[in-house]
Every structure is written in C-alpha cells, then in structure tokens.
C-alpha cells in the first residue's frame, strides 16, 4: 500500500485493515489495539472474521492522538481530555448549522461513501 505515515486522504476507501492503518500512521498494530482500549472514539468495525476494519475517521483520530502524544507531549489522560474537548466543539458546530444544511451534509456524506464502495466493488470485478 502506501508509505509509512501517509495521510488517509491518499486513499479513498471505506475501511482499512489494521496492517494498512499501521503503515499509514507509522504505529505498530499492538499500539493501535491498546489505543482502541484507551480511546473510546476509536471504534473499528469487527468483521465476521474478527478482522478490525477502521474507517477514515478512525485513522484521522489515530493521527490526532499520535500528534498529541508524540509531538505535543500529552499524557494518555491529557490526550483523552483534548480529544473529548475537540469532539464537543465539532458537535456544537454541527448543532449550530441550520437543519437543512445538516441533512444535506449527511446526504452528501452518504453519497460519497456509496460512491467509494461502488469503486471498490468495480475494482474487485475487474
């Protein structure tokens, strides 16, 4: 796949396996599993084979946590608080949007996800 530390926007996929997330973030899989237990905002989907499947949002959150811990010098507890605070700000911004804009955003996001899924299916069929 990509180079270590590559940004998740480099690939427009619906889900990433733990090995792919490891390469994208430069973190070992055991670190990702540990962070999953510490940071409740990281919620990979577990497929029937118990394979962890991370969404782009999870990968972006992992990169934020990595920056807080490794670059900004936060502790795990401090990073948890900072992530919670950032989520509150995002929620407040969404609530301040008119209802029509929120609905359009949800619909647009759904269409993007469907389009990406269809691209993945087409690649499988080629």
Q: What integer best gives the mean pLDDT of the chain?
A: 81
Report the run of H or E that residue 87 belongs to, with start and end. helix 76-96
List the domains of the chain with CATH numbers.
8-125 (1.10.1660.10)
Nearest to 20 by CA among 48, 47, 49, 55: 55
The mean per-residue pLDDT over the stretch 88-117 comes to: 68
Per-residue model confidence as pLDDT tens digits over 24-76:
999 999 999 999 999 989 989 887 777 889 998 899 999 999 999 999 999 99
Take residue 75 and report the two structure tokens written for it: 């502790």
Segment 92-99 shows an average pLDDT of 59
- Nearest alpha carbon to residue 59 among 109, 101, 13: 13
């Amino acid at each position: 796949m990509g180079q270590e530390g590559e940004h998740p926007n480099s690939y427009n996929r619906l889900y990433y396996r733990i090995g792919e997330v490891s390469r994208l973030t430069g973190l070992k899989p055991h670190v990702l599993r540990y962070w999953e237990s510490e940071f409740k905002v990281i919620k990979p989907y577990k497929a029937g084979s118990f394979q962890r499947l991370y969404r782009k949002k999870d990968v972006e959150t992992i990169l934020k946590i990595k920056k807080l811990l490794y670059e900004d010098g936060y502790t795990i507890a401090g990073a948890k608080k900072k992530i919670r605070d950032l989520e509150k700000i995002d929620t407040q911004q969404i609530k301040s949007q008119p209802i029509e804009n929120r609905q359009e955003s949800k619909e647009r996001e759904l269409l993007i996800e469907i389009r990406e899924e269809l691209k993945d299916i087409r690649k499988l069929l080629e």
